[in-house]
Chains A and B, each alone.
Chain A
Amino acid sequence: MLTYIVRRILATIPMLVGITLVSFLLLHALPGDPTAVLLGQRATEQNKQELRRQLGLDQPLHAQYGQYVGGTLRGDFGESHRTNQPVLTELKQKIPATIELALAAMFLATIVGVSLGVLAAIKPRSVFDFACLSMALVGVSMPVFWLGFMAQKVLAGELKWLPFSGRLDFGTWARFQSDTGFYTLDALFVYQRADLFADVMLHLALPAIVLSTVPTALIARITRATMLETLKQDFIRTARAKGATPAAVVLRHGLRNALIPILTAVATQFGYLLGGAVLTETIFAWPGLGRYVIESIDALDARPLQASVLVVATAFVLVNLLTDLSYAFIDPRLRKREAA
């Protein structure tokens, strides 16, 4: 098992190097001269030369890349020319916002998706199964931003059950100081106020529900398919024959053996949510990483774009790594094979 783990970890290193290379090249690939973007239209050629020297853009590419990687490792991502803030400071607020949303959505998607999938697999071709499959199909066929808009209109606009957008009510938000960027944690542990926590959760609910539709649908489909397959196996019949309760047969013997494909689906979806929440964040004015990417693209703001691409891709690679490593712990067969 150790060789498997080591080999898998080593395999991510070239990936990470490649990611830094791509995010580095983004600065040069974006349309327009970076100095012209920074200095505006009236800049003289001399000003531009001066700035090029200051930013190190007059050096050969490999030297620039070295500087970039060095800066990245030290946590120096440069400055955003749109806000004149260090990118790191902005990321410290954006990343927790995205993680909070992605975790909430994933929590919903896993619970609802796995339950629906298991229930549908217990009674295949029943009305419930048909309803689940249809819902899953509509779920993956739906434009998320459209669903978000409709949910916002109905649940927040008409019925006023949930807040419209943002992470907190505006009045509260202006006075809210968040050190970690995780509003749920700050409300609970720094402010220690239940009403504040409730407000944060209410704001989180609608975006999380909308964001969870596609993962829920996919997880439900995969759970159903693998459970159907697993429940046909001989050991399930044996478990039934020895008199295990139906719940034990399905959960302990069935679900446990169907876990690997389900876990893969959950992890992949989580990776996507970290970078793919762009649309949901836009609809609900959620100040996360996805929104940050789009704002940076709109303003041709290279540094924040580079940093966000780097962060999202690295997170994606690490989530996949952790998934692969967790197989070794879930599936005893993988352990045995390596030992033999």
Chain B
Amino acid sequence: MKDFVRFLKTHRPAQFGLALIALVMAAAVFAGVISPFGPMEAVPNAFFLKPSTTHWLGTDSQGRDLFSRLLHGARYTLLVALAATTLSLLTGSLVGALAGYFGRWVDMLLMRCVDFMMSFPSFLLACVAVAILGKSLENLIWAVGIAGAPSFARQVRAEVLRLRSLEFVEAAHSLGYSHWRILGRHILPNCLSPVIVLGTLGMGGSILSVAGLAFLGLGGDPFVPEWGLMLKLGWDQSTHGAFQVGIAGACILVTVLGFNLFGDGLRDWLDPRSRTR
């Protein structure tokens, strides 16, 4: 940890990324305290107001305060993306670990499935998954989560393959430990760093995928203040909604940029070879 703080002090982009993430997280956590209005609270006869002292960023087509909705939107956007990324991370790591550790037919079978999933463009895969599951934010999590799992599976498998032949694993074998214990206690903890990097970068990807799917109208209830849905709502209103599209998109950009910068920084820290690049 100390090492990481020291690294962070020298790595400007990672600092910047972390700052952006912290900003968005603060908005999400304190949305209830900061926002002057409720996210669903409609002010009568106040549609499409320009930014003013009461409504900092104006109002939308229903007379709801945009600033408040954006703050609450940070909650939805981050939670949905976090849930989707966690789902990819867990299923992908499990598949990759089993394939890498047991090898032979297990590896054959699992990795062919992974290759097969990778033969579909992941965004299309997510679209089709939502079509099957039904349109809602919860189903977006499943769709994006499953579509993102293969890259984790590949990474973890490669890592497990490398570790499996190392001496400490051999030592654990000769001590008579069970496969699950070796995998869970000795191998997986050592795979953690590349998975964390991939997860951080995956957060950015998940946010973009979720926003994209929501924009296509696959996100269910259009009034939930998720940023992708807000963007769609603005887009549907064409000229009047342009401002809403602009700021909702900017929020997405800033958040994804934060995760990408921080993820790149983490990778540089964990893999010193990439620092020169």
Contact = CB atoms under 8 A, between A and B. Distances in A.
A320 B119 contact: yes
Contacts of A309: 120, 124, 128
Contact of B132 (A31, A229, A278): A31
Interface residues of B, number: 39
A316 B212 contact: no
A146 B116 contact: no
B121 interface: yes
B156 interface: no
A56 interface: no
A146 B216 contact: no
B119 A19 contact: yes
Given A18-B116, A29-B132, A143 B211 contact: yes
Contacts of B112: 14
B277 A141 contact: no
Contacts of B67: none
Interface stretch (B46-54, B89-97, B169-177, B249-257): B249-257
Given A278-B124, A279-B212, A297-B130, A146 B119 contact: no
Contacts of B270: none
A209 B135 CA distance: 30
A293 interface: yes
B217 A137 contact: no
A147 to B, nearest CB: 8
B24 interface: no
A293 B127 contact: yes
Contacts of B119: 15, 18-19, 313, 316-317, 320
Contacts of B116: 15, 18
Interface stretch (A175-183, A258-266, A267-275, A329-337): A267-275
Contacts of A150: 245-246, 249
Contacts of B80: none
Given A14-B112, A29-B132, A143-B212, A276 B121 contact: yes
A316 B256 CA distance: 27
A15 B112 CA distance: 9
B204 A275 contact: no
A137 B245 CA distance: 21
A28 B54 CA distance: 52
A85 to B, nearest CB: 20
22 contacts: A15-B115, A18-B116, A31-B134, A141-B253, A143-B252, A145-B231, A149-B235, A153-B242, A229-B277, A272-B121, A272-B123, A275-B121, A276-B123, A276-B124, A278-B124, A278-B127, A278-B212, A293-B124, A294-B217, A309-B124, A312-B124, A316-B121
Interface of A: 14-15, 18-19, 26, 29-31, 137-138, 140-147, 149-150, 153, 224-225, 228-229, 271-272, 274-276, 278-279, 282, 290, 293-294, 297-298, 300, 305, 309, 312-313, 316-317, 320
